[in-house]
Structure formats: structure tokens, C-alpha cells
Amino acid sequence: MTLNPHIMSTEPEKIISTNRRVYHDYLISENLEAGLCLKGTEIKSLRTQGCRLNESFVLLENGEAWLCQMEIPEYAFGNRENHEPMAKRKLLLHKRQLTHLKKELEIKNLSCIPLKIYLKRGLAKVLLGIGRGKKLYDKRQRIKKRAVDREIARETKKFR
């Protein structure tokens, strides 16, 4: 029996894309790792060209989780069987994780947004963040606090 070297390797995960804007717009309370169901040209394009997570979100339909509005550019060497860049992609989750996600999204009225996409042992994974959207005053308070902290750090640096 031969083992697949990609699955058994101990190499660290390779980050493909991150969505840093999420931390500005949402208060993330919980993280969840999910697999991505991709076609051959999608994974090849993901490895070479990356993807864009701007404005992407998770949608629950018929007991399945789907990643919407994520753009994977067309594979340069693909033929007529090339994938559609903005297609919905299925998320691979355990049933227990799906029921937990459904409870969080529907009952508690939270949002699920992808934080980053990475390759782990040769497989495409998505780190999902579950949280509530920030209000405008929350964002303003955070900006003010950051400015005050910077000013304090600058003043203490002068007196050293």
C-alpha cells in the first residue's frame, strides 16, 4: 500500500488569500474550518493565481453550505471545460458542524464570512468566521482608540 505524499506531508499550510476587511466590518466570535469542493481547473488556478474573497459569504441551502461571490480566475491553460470564475462552491463540513452553523445563522442571526483560504496537506481549506456586523459607532470608537494608543506610544518613545 503506497501513501499519498501530499496528504502525509508535514509541511505548513500555504495561505492563498486572506480577507482582512472582515475584521473591520464584523466582530468575529468563532472560527470554523471547512473543505472546498473544487474542479480540476479551479484548484490549479487557485494554486497559481490565487482568489479574491471580497464580499464573499456563506449561504445555507437544502442542508448544505455554499461559498458565494468568491472569484477564482479562469485557468490560463484550461480548455472549453474551464470553470466559471464566480460560481458557488460547496463547503465540506461534518453534519454536526452544519447543524451548529445553521443554528448560529438562523436562530442567533449571525453572519458567516470566509477569513482565509489555504492549502493544508495539498487540500483546499477555508477558515470561516462567525460573527455579528459592526455598527458605524463601533468602527469609529475603534479608530479613535487606535489613534490614542498611537499617540501614547509616541509620547512614551520621546521620553526614553
Is residue 26 a part of any domain in this protein? yes
Is residue 143 a part of any domain in this protein? no
What does pTM read for this prediction? 0.78
**Hey, how many other C-beta atoms are within 10 angstroms of the C-beta on 16?**
19
Is residue 111 a part of any domain in this protein? yes
Is residue 18 a part of any domain in this protein? yes
Is residue 44 a part of any domain in this protein? yes
Cα distances (angstroms) measured from residue 48 to each of 51, 55, 75? 10, 22, 9
The pLDDT, as a whole number, for residue 1 is 44
- Give me the CATH number covering residue 90: 2.40.280.10
Is residue 157 a part of any domain in this protein? no
Question: Which of the pair, 8 or 113, is modelled with greater confidence?
Answer: 113
Domain that holds residue 53: 5-134
Mean pLDDT of 58-72: 91
Cα-Cα-Cα-Cα dihedral sign, residues 89, 36, 70, 33:
positive
Q: Which residues contact 124 (CB under 8 A, 6 or more apart)?
A: 16, 35, 36, 38, 43, 46, 117, 118
The pLDDT, as a whole number, for residue 65 is 92
The pLDDT, as a whole number, for residue 11 is 66
Question: Which of the pair, 53 or 11, is modelled with greater confidence?
Answer: 53
pLDDT at 120 over 60: yes
Is residue 147 a part of any domain in this protein? no
Assign 9 a pLDDT band (cuts: 50, 70, 90). low
Mean pLDDT of the chain: 85
Look at the chain and report how many structural domains it folds into.
1
